[in-house]
Amino acid sequence: MSQREIAYSEVNDDIVRSLVVTGRNYYITLAVSILVTFACFFGPWFYQIQYGIGAAGMNHPTVWGTYLASFIFWIGLSHSGTLLSAVLHLTNSEWRKAMYRSAEAMTLFSVMVAATMVMVHVGRPWFVHWAVPYPNQMEMWPNFRSPLMFDVMAITTYMTGSIIFIYMGTIPDFAAVRDRTTGWRHHMYVLLSLGWRGTDTEWHRLHWAYTFLAVLIVPLAVSVHSIVSWDFALSIVPALHQTIFAPYFVVGAIYSGTAGIVTVMFVLRKYMKFEHLITKLHFDNLGKLLLVMSLLWTYINAVELFTGWYSESSEEYEALGFRLFGFYGPLYWEMILFCAVAPLLLISKRFRTSFVPMLILSIAINIGMYTERFLIVATSLPRQYLPDAWGMYYPSLVEILIMIGSFGMFTTLFLIFVKIFPSVSLYEVKETLPEPQPKLRTQSESGAS
Amino acid sequence: MAINALGLFDAPSSALEAAGELKGAGFEAPEIISPIPIHGVEKVLGKKKNIIKRFTFFGALFGGIGGFALAAGTAVLYVHVTGGRPVIAIPPFLIITYELTILCGILATVAGFFLSSRLPAMRDRVYAPEAAVDKFAVTVECEDSEQFRRAHEILQNAGAEEIRELGGSE
Amino acid sequence: MSFMDTLRTRWQEYRKPGYYDEFDYAWTMTIDLDRCTGCGACVTACQAENNIPLVGETELARGREMQWIRIERYWEGEYPNVKLNFIPMLCQHCDAAPCETVCPVSATYHNQDGLNAQVYNRCIGTRSCAVYCPYEVRYFNYYDHEWPSPLDQQLNPDVSVREKGVMEKCTFCIQRIRQAKDTAKDDGRRRVLDGEVQPACVQTCATEAMVFGDRNDPQSQVSQSMNDPRAYHVLEEVNTAPSVVYLKKVEANVST
Amino acid sequence: MSGIDRRDFLKLAGAGGAGAGAGFMIRESIKHPVEHLVPYPSPPEEFSPGIATWYNTVCTMCSAGCGITVRTREGRAKKIEGNPAHPVSEGRLCAHGQAGLQVLYNPDRLTGPMARTAGSEDLAPITWAAGISQLATRIREIQSSGQGNSVCFLSEGVGGHLGVLQKNFMEQLGSTRYHQYDFAYPHTLYSAIQNLFGESQLPYYDLANADYVLSFGADYLSTWISPVQHSLGFGRSRHGASGTRGQFVQIEPRMSVSGASADQWIAANPGTEGILALGIANYIVNEIGYEGADRQEWVGSLAPYALNTVSENTGVSASVISHLAESLATAQSGLAIGGGSAGNNTNGVDTLVAVNALNYLVGNLGNEGGLVFNPSPVIGEEVSGAQATYSDMLELAEAARDGQIQVLIINQTNPVFNLPEVAQFREAIEQIPLVVSLSSFIDETSALATLILPSHTYLESWGDTFPKPGVGFSVGAISQPVVSPLFNTRATGDIILGLAKEIGLSEAFPWSDMEEYLKQGWQEIYARGNAGNDSGDFEAFWTDVVRAGIWGENVRGSDSTGLAEGVIGTIGVALPSFSGSSDDYPYVLHPFVSDTLEDGSAANLPWMQELPDPLTSIVYGSWVELNPSTANNLNLEEGDVVEIQSPHGIVTAPVFIYPAIMPGVIGMPIGQGHTDYGRYASGRGTNPIQILSPQLEQETGDLAWAATRVSITATGRRVNIVKTGGLARELGREIVQKVDAEEHTTPIAGLSSIPVKVVQS
């Protein structure tokens, strides 16, 4: 592409600058996002702990609400990062290298936010550790037959895997940054780099360890969202009890995750001044991926509707009818517009390589995907088997605040991340650059000839 | 008291060349410190044994068996029926098995990586900060100053920009 | 027996699905829809027996009703040939209960009497059991309920008062079953006699539409009642094997 | 609810932080269980902690008089259950009976005597001595000036010895103004039974053994006379007590609980139920062939009720009428009952006479599955006539306005709420210098009192009840206190006895308290020597009766199968007359006693407020029922707030589309619309009684409360009706499954579709 030739040292300079030099805008953004986190997330949440889940709008029979929708959303958003990074690593894609670090970070933080959403969701978060298998006096173990328990195991594994994956890939970079920093930062990076030197043995081990991790993480990531889908699909709720749900969720997750990466890439490129590292090539490739995912997603949605229609059962009819034309019907069509129709623009290469339109589309896709998750919960549960038990669900103020706050929390975590982790992989970007040629030798040889 | 010789090169090919010459000259285990992994190291310094895969394999195996044992064992320890399923219900337990296989595989891989690459390092070792930016360093351990002189010469001939004499690690 | 044999036997035992057949009792309720008048006495009796909280108008408006047994009503036809059918809906104590499998902390499980038990102290409030229940008979404590003094003096000491964040539901008045079993034991009997124990709803039903007992005992009233050809399960297609059996409503041929 | 207001919320939000969050969580996880179940510091002797004690007593939540067993633990009543030995309820109980605990433990109960000092708006607590002496002084003054008749006692319906005591007390004062007032008291039914059969007691309707029951407006399963008894009968009839499954037919303009449970629901024009009954009678006499000696008389008086005329007047097709007649006449034991809205039109008595005459025509008088006459009550016959009709109440109001009433003592009745605005009863009470309330709650009437002497609830006091109607023979039951009094209240009987002492009537009322009075009264019953006193002396008899919670003797009522002399010739039902012109007020208002709140007296019980209305699932509110076609014509939807205007007032309530009400009729439940009566009742919904026109039933002079015409105006506002139900349609899901009556012949037969497992025990 139109990538300008840059030297190795320039890469180091850029990254270290991004870590050390901090503008006023950064602090303002950080302050705002911390404020949002506390005012919108922790404040309402503590109120909810005090009052009970009744602070949210859930009721009988719609006992799940936006918290769970947010949970799936964040888990979904986490999917592209590590998964994409691992897949692209295994397939040796060059273009991965400039973006995978921040993509993985996105994974990590969305999983963290998702885990917090679980805490917000449950009625007695102070006992949530009971869902973790540990030896105890009561000899009570969790119920491993439960899809929710699958979730606990899968998400713990995924979070551990993601942390390790991103950390392993960053060790050489920590070492590089270690040598260029002073003061507390230096000490921090000394610890984080674990004494990495960059010897040929270390590189060799890292390569293999990283490859094995990638091999393990790809099926893990796929399993995580399949399992999340089974929270729903293993129930016998009409419109949730569908075999298509696992691929549906995995595709949706990768879809929204990819869109999330586009958003993050745009922001990084713009505000961390990584224009020369993150280029049109990346947007073009991500755009292609988005297009594929959008088509897949649309197909699965069609399958879901078809299955419902073909079932000829009143339960499926009513639930799907309510989703399409009920109170939340407009949201459904909004979702279709954002996730199935608008992404068709990606067919045009000009669109894929224009930054601002890609940003807008990626945000729209994620709004649509959040809507999808909301609709899964809010339109299926109110329309179940016994019509006399039907009800309606409207999110409460506390729920909406917490939903906004979760974005604040994500932003906060990400902002802290970019100041600690080199948000672009130093050594892998260097690998994409032309190898330095021996200058002295060349000169002397040319002189000799 | 050993001395280490470290030569800095500005290109990986030069560094490789130097390392190859050192090895050819009978030096034990010359090392290359580089900002990026260098292709073709194996050709020069010989193929390295990869023990991480064993860690990964046995870790995953342990996770698999342990996962099923955890699920089935705890179910048997405190028997209660849920949903009319058997106490040891295979399909759900397979999922737990699957997840723990991966978890233990990951953890074992990391352990294997740390053990085989001798990280985290607890003490200072031979290092050149420039090698984390754009230089490629070749180091070799010399038993005495004579050896160091020879190493210096080889490095010099290979085109080292700078040659440092560093204290031994022992 | 060698170790391997023991292991094999145990394995087979643990692999046997649905061994609730071997439970001490299989408590069952039949509800005759031909007799139910929808009066709601069972609802209030249940509220009184089981310390079911007062919800209040605002919370009811938000759809947070709390009644372990409720009367569902279904209209049929249009005026003037219109009919109203009542069906009391309570926890069906399914033998293949979807709610039990989904609880991550085993707060709900099948006990030795074939009851679907809910352990309030163990519940962490994921509410997934309520989602999985096709009968919508699980109710959640969205906040700490209050009994303005002296209403709290009515609370039944045999039944715990649930705190916020806990799921609750019909227990077939397990406290009464416990008591009956204790009495039987004190009297040197092996089993509770038929009719010795009745949940509050059954006890109060003025049309005697409900019958409760042990279906393991073929002589019991409830077994007789289950023998009625009108017996059916609600939502049979979801295959939950409920312990509540309904008797079909009888439709008289009224030629007009 | 948890005591967090917005300020706290903001504080919390401000103080938020991960540390604080951990603090919350830790506090929640280690907190002690809330101690709702407070034991006694020093327990009385009667109970052992942890062991329940059962006391038998009588339910007085309605007039049916079911026997109850109250389960107590640590001296606290925990649960009310039916007394299996009591023949009225046989161990069963309705929702109201269950909710009796909330009368006892109601947070709005009055905790002690109070008085309104002159010039002050507020009630201040006083001592019992002061309260009683204040009242006694005033009565003595009046008595000494020879104006005994200016003391008035207005009670709820009270039978047994308490009723006798109250009446005697008033007689001793020289006052004839002793009244009881219950809104739903069936004056017209009493009158009709008297006219038709010459019996002063309501008969016992043997539903259990009937196999074909025609009910004209009587919601016998929910609100009418003795619902639990009827429900038992209904269940047994359905189960084939008579040999075949009983069939039930309900004739009413708006489907009630009984209508919903019936096999056939027929809407006849409001007020024409009697005409329909006579149409059926005519068909039986002329077409099916009635063979009685008085056939000609019947033919004569039924002549105007030919099928076509009746069909035209009632709006019921001729084929339906003839079918009903045939079914009734050919049934093994057909039974016709009437009441409710059918008895509350201007032609109420005539209607009920016509309905009950059907029983005579099908020959079920005194038979199984028919109409069984009750003997006169053992005690309290003289109180039977004390129930005031609407005309009596108007007269009372008039006297009050004229200053003829100096003291009014109100016992648990609430006429201000239960009389239409047009009666101006509130204004009348305000004219009375001293109004004393013995009620346990501040209801609309008690709120006007200057002196409040709160009485015990029925679970704290002694009393006895002789159920009306009985079960065909004499029964009675003693109610005993099951808990020690919660508050500084006194039993009504004790208040009267105390008052008598203060006034100086100790000679006439020598008893120290109600228990003693009751025992003395039961000496007479013991002396009848008829039943239950094998036990020896009176004390043993008394203990037995108190313990069993029931006493009965094998004395049947009249076993005549005839009619009162010359009544056949007088039979005939006029068309009802409604207030207001049908042009200005196009709809007939059909107020009905709420299935959950009764006539409003249960509105202060939170369980009753939260018990969904059986037919609509509405909780905590009033509503207006419209037929879907009416609503469609008026362009109204559920939740639209409308004004219901009668010639005598306006009420507003939201619309509820009700599939089973006649298009020209508007249904409204009675029970809500309290302005006082505690936190659970006040300020909810509206009271349709307010706008009723003062149409009188011709014969009894009672209010014909189903005879008001109204108009509807939309206000444009909308509210969300609070109800627990979702969509009340099955959508083909086969939730309530049905079987054809012909397939279902015997109650128990054949193999079940659900196998029963045989286990050796």
Confidence of residue D326 (pLDDT cuts 50, 70, 90): very high
Average pLDDT of D219-229? 92
Of A308, A31, A113, A91, give the one whose Cα is nearest residue A218.
A91
Instruction: Name the domain count of chain D.
Output: 2
Domain region containing C206? 23-240
Mutate to test the interface with B, among C101, C105, C111 (most CBs of B within 10 A): C101
Which residue, D346, D372, D398, sits at the end of a domain?
A: D372
Average pLDDT for D401-419: 93
DSSP state letter for D723 = B
Q: Do the Cβ atoms of D346 and D695 come closer than 8 Å?
A: yes
Confidence tier at B44 by pLDDT (50, 70, 90): confident
- pLDDT range class, residue D239, cuts 50, 70, 90: confident
Q: A261 at the C interface (CB within 8 A)?
A: no
B119 close to A (CB below 8 A): yes
| CA–CA separation, C166 and C144 (whole Å) | 10
Digit-coded pLDDT (tens) for C65-75: 999 999 999 99
Can you tell me the distance from the alpha carbon of D212 to that of A384, in angstroms, rounded to the nearest whole number?
A: 39
Q: What digits encode the pLDDT tens for the residues D458-505?
A: 999 999 998 888 888 888 899 999 998 999 999 999 999 999 999 988
Mean pLDDT, chain C, rounded, equals: 90
DSSP H or E run through D619: none
3-state SS assignment for residue A421:
coil
* Phi, psi (deg, nearest 5) at residue B34: -140, 155
Vertex A83: Cα angle to A81 and A86 (nearest 5): 105
Nearest to D441 by CA among D152, D102, D188, D70: D102
Distance from CA of B105 to the nearest CA of C (A): 25
Tokens found for residue D602? 């249960």
What pLDDT does residue A98 have? 76
| Structural domains in chain B (count) | 2
D434 vs D50: which has the higher pLDDT? D434
Residues B75 and B127 in one domain: no
- Tokens, residue B26: 């009978």
C149 in contact with chain B, both atoms CB, cutoff 8 A: no
Shortest Cα distance, chain D CAs vs residue C251, angstroms: 5
Q: Write out residues 725-744 of D within 8 Å (CB-CB) of A.
A: 725-733, 735
Has residue A447 got a pLDDT over 60? no
Q: Is D90 domain-assigned?
A: no
**Contact flag C110-B82 (C-beta cutoff 8 Å):** yes
Cα–Cα distance measured from residue D441 to residue C154, given in angstroms and rounded to the nearest whole number: 19
Higher pLDDT, A240 or D10: A240
Interface test with C, best of D29, D30, D62, D78 (most C CBs within 10 A): D78
Chain C and chain D touch, per 3+ beta carbon pairs within 8 A: yes
CA nearest to A197, candidates B42, B55, B166, B158: B166
H or E segment at D670? strand D665-670
Using CA coordinates, name the residue in chain D closest to A59: D724
Chain C residues inside the 8 Å CB shell of D682: none
CB contact under 8 A, D12 and A50: yes
Domain count, chain C: 1
The CATH number for C117's domain is: 3.30.70.20
CB pairs under 8 A between A and B: 193
Q: Which residue of C has its CA nearest to B76?
A: C14
Average confidence score pLDDT of chain D = 87
Query: Looking at beta carbons, which residues of chain B come within 8 Å of A9?
Result: 133-134
Answer whether residue C67 is part of any domain. yes
State the residue range of the domain holding D685.
587-718
User: Using the beta-carbon criterion (under 8 Å), do D611 and C191 form an inter-chain contact?
Assistant: no
Residue C234 distance to chain B (closest CA, Å): 18
Render pLDDT for D366-388 as a digit per residue (tens, 0 to 9): 888 889 888 888 887 778 788 99
The residue of chain C nearest to residue A126, with distances taken between CA atoms, is: C124
Dist. CA D416–CA D424, nearest whole Å: 8
pLDDT per residue as tens digits for the range D79-105 = 999 999 898 988 999 999 999 999 999
- Selecting from A43, A126, A385 the residue whose C-beta is nearest the C-beta of D12 gives A43
Confidence category of residue C10, pLDDT binned at 50, 70, 90: confident
Render pLDDT for D160-182 as a digit per residue (tens, 0 to 9): 899 999 999 999 998 999 999 99
Residue C204 has pLDDT above 90, yes or no: yes
Q: Where are the beta strands (DSSP E) in C55-187?
A: 70-76, 83-89, 108-110, 116-118, 139-140, 167-168
In this predicted model, which residue has the larger pLDDT, B6 or D109?
Answer: D109
Assign residue B146 the CATH number of its domain.
3.30.70
Contact A388 D725 (CB under 8 A): yes
A428 contact residues in B (CB cutoff 8 A): 36
Which residues of C, range 159-198, sit inside 8 Å of B by Cβ?
A: none
CB pairs C-D closer than 8 Å? 310
* Domain harbouring D219, CATH code: 3.40.228.10
- Residues of D340-374 as b/e, b for ≥16 C-beta within 10 angstroms? bbbbbbbbbbbbbbbbbbbbbbbbbbbbebbbbbb
Residues 6+ apart with CB under 8 A from D228: C206, D64, D66, D82, D88, D89, D92, D93, D94, D97
The closest of C173, C249, C250 to C212, measured between CA atoms, is C173
- D601-604: long-range contacts, CB 8 A cutoff, minimum separation 24: D601/D414, D602/D61, D602/D96, D602/D99, D602/D671, D603/D671, D603/D672, D603/D674, D603/D677, D603/D680, D603/D681, D603/D684, D604/D106, D604/D108, D604/D441, D604/D443, D604/D674, D604/D677, D604/D678, D604/D680, D604/D681
Any C CB within 8 A of A327 CB: no
Whether A2 shows a pLDDT value over 70: the answer reads no
On whether any CB of chain C is under 8 Å from the CB of D718, the answer is: no
Nearest to A44 among D13, D726, D731 (CB): D13
The tens digit of pLDDT for each residue in A398-445 reads 999 999 999 999 999 999 988 888 888 888 878 777 777 766 544 444
Residue D750 has pLDDT above 50, yes or no: no
Does residue D17 carry a pLDDT above 50? no
- Residues from chain C that touch B80, judged by Cβ atoms under 8 A, are 106, 109-111
Q: Does residue A18 register a pLDDT over 50?
A: yes
Q: Are D170 and D178 in contact (CB under 8 A)?
A: yes
**Are both B78 and B93 inside the same structural domain?**
yes
Considering only CB atoms, D726 lies closest to which of A42, A126, A387, namely A387
Cβ-Cβ contacts under 8 Å, C125 against chain A:
53, 122-124
Residue B106 domain boundaries: 56-117
Closest residue of chain C to A389, computed from CA coordinates: C136
β-strand partners of D215: D250, D337
Question: Helix, strand, or coil here: D589?
Answer: strand
Q: Is ipTM over 0.85?
A: yes
Phi-psi region of A31 (alpha: psi -120 to 50; beta: other; left: phi over 0): alpha
Fold for A17-129+142-425, please state it: Formate dehydrogenase/DMSO reductase fold (1.20.1630)
Q: pLDDT above 90 covers what percent of chain C? A: 66
Q: Say if the Cβ atoms of D76 and C154 lie within 8 Å.
A: yes
Span D690-712, average pLDDT: 92
Is residue C248, in this structure, part of any structural domain at all? no
Neighbours of chain A (3+ CB pairs under 8 A): B, C, D
pLDDT value, residue A1: 37
What are chain C's partners, defined as 3 or more CB pairs within 8 angstroms? A, B, D
Task: Out of C74, C161, C208, name the one closest to residue D735 (CB).
Answer: C74
Q: Average pLDDT of chain B?
A: 83
Confidence at D535, pLDDT banded by 50, 70, 90: low
CB distance from A122 to chain C under 8 Å? yes
| Identity of the residue in D74, D260, D619 whose CB atom sits nearest the CB atom of C38 | D260
Please list, in sequence order, all residues whose beta carbon lies within 8 angstroms of the beta carbon of residue D332, skipping any fewer than 6 positions away.
D211, D212, D242, D243, D244, D369
Tens digits of per-residue pLDDT, A45-63?
Answer: 999 999 999 999 999 889 9
**Contact between chains at D727 and A51 (C-beta distance less than 8 A):** no
Average pLDDT over residues D307-322: 93
Check CB contact under 8 Å for B81 and C110: yes
Inter-chain CB proximity A435 and B122 less than 8 Å:
no
Return the number of other C-beta atoms located less than 10 Å from residue A35's C-beta. Answer: 12
Cis peptide before A61 (omega within 30 of 0): yes
Question: Which phi and psi (to 5°) does residue D240 adopt?
Answer: 85, 40
